[in-house]
């Protein structure tokens, strides 16, 4: 599974595990077992770094995705938030993206509605290698 790249794709994911290691008392994440055993329809919150034209540094946003597919040790999900970035033309609700357990900073169990959402055709599919 190809990971998103800030230069190539205009966005990437930050490692929640890295943030937790830097600040374990103030940046809590779910246990590794929880992050490695997500099911289709579950919600995972991820940290996105998004390039913005004219800015040297990316903008960071925490957004929810719904797990769409379990792929080996990673996942494909559908973005379930509208980013708060005016210049954004890469992300919108329903965009498919890959992520791994190391990216997950929060988890919520799915339900029938999120399972139905996960089964829909993505507005933009992530290329499979």
Please tell me the distance from the alpha carbon of residue 105 to that of residue 95, in angstroms, as a whole number: 19
What does the pLDDT read at residue 86? 59
Strands 11-13 and 43-50, bridge-based pairing: antiparallel
What does the pLDDT read at residue 54? 77
Selected residue with higher pLDDT from 123 and 47? 47
Average pLDDT over residues 2-7: 90
What does the pLDDT read at residue 116? 95
Please tell me the distance from the alpha carbon of residue 103 to that of residue 115, in angstroms, as a whole number: 21
Please tell me the distance from the alpha carbon of residue 38 to that of residue 57, in angstroms, as a whole number: 32
What does the pLDDT read at residue 82? 72
- Reported as a single tens digit per residue, the pLDDT across 57-110 is 898 999 999 999 999 999 999 999 877 765 555 567 788 999 999 999 999 999
What does the pLDDT read at residue 1? 83
Selected residue with higher pLDDT from 39 and 82? 39
In the chain, the percentage of residues whose pLDDT exceeds 70 is 93
**Rounded-to-10 torsion of CA 20, 21, 23, 25:** 70
Please tell me the distance from the alpha carbon of residue 46 to that of residue 8, in angstroms, as a whole number: 19
pTM above 0.85, yes or no: yes
The mean-pLDDT minimum among 35-39, 43-47, 118-122 falls in 118-122
What does the pLDDT read at residue 73? 93
């Amino acid at each position: 599974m190809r990971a998103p790249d800030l230069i190539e794709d205009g966005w990437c994911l930050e490692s929640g595990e890295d943030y937790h290691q830097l600040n374990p008392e103030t940046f809590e994440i779910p246990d590794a077992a929880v992050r490695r055993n997500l099911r289709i329809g579950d919600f995972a919150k991820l940290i996105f770094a998004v390039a913005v034209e004219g800015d040297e540094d990316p903008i960071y946003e925490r957004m929810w995705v719904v797990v769409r597919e379990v792929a080996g040790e990673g996942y494909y999900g559908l973005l379930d938030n509208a980013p708060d970035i005016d210049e954004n033309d890469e992300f919108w609700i329903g965009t498919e993206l890959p992520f791994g357990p190391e990216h997950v900073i929060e988890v919520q169990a799915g339900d029938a509605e999120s399972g139905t959402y996960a089964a829909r055709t993505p507005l933009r599919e992530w290329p499979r290698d």
